[in-house]
């Protein structure tokens, strides 16, 4: 997985989090497959099409916090992640 301080787009734009579709019990094989990029200041009450119940690993950038909910539209239990 990339380190929290390395989360940037190709053009250098800072990224707050990357969510990955594939996971593995072997660390060097985690953070694989499709990637959902979360930019600073994003507020997304619904997961993009095809991402519901699909995220298996994530990396949160420095100076960012990612809050997720167990139900759509920011309902249910929440959990926050940071670097």
Each residue's pLDDT tens digit in the chain (83 positions)?
Answer: 889 999 998 898 899 999 998 877 777 778 888 999 999 999 988 889 988 888 888 999 999 999 999 998 999 999 999 99
3-state class percentages of the chain: helix first, strand second, coil last, to nearest 5: 5, 40, 50
pTM for this predicted structure: 0.85
Classify 63 as helix, strand or coil: coil
Distant-in-sequence, close-in-space partners of 37: CB < 8 Å, separation ≥ 6: 9, 15, 17, 18
Report d(CA 41, CA 72) in Å as an integer: 19
Report d(CA 58, CA 15) in Å as an integer: 12
First to last CA, the chain: 13
């Amino acid at each position: 997985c990339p380190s929290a301080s390395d989360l940037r787009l190709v053009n250098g734009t800072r990224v707050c989090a990357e969510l990955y579709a594939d996971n593995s019990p072997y660390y060097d094989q985690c953070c694989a497959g499709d990637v959902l990029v979360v930019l600073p200041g994003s507020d997304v009450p619904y997961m993009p099409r095809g991402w519901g119940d699909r995220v298996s690993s994530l990396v949160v950038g420095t100076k960012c916090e990612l809050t997720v909910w167990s139900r759509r539209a920011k309902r249910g239990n929440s959990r926050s992640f940071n670097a």
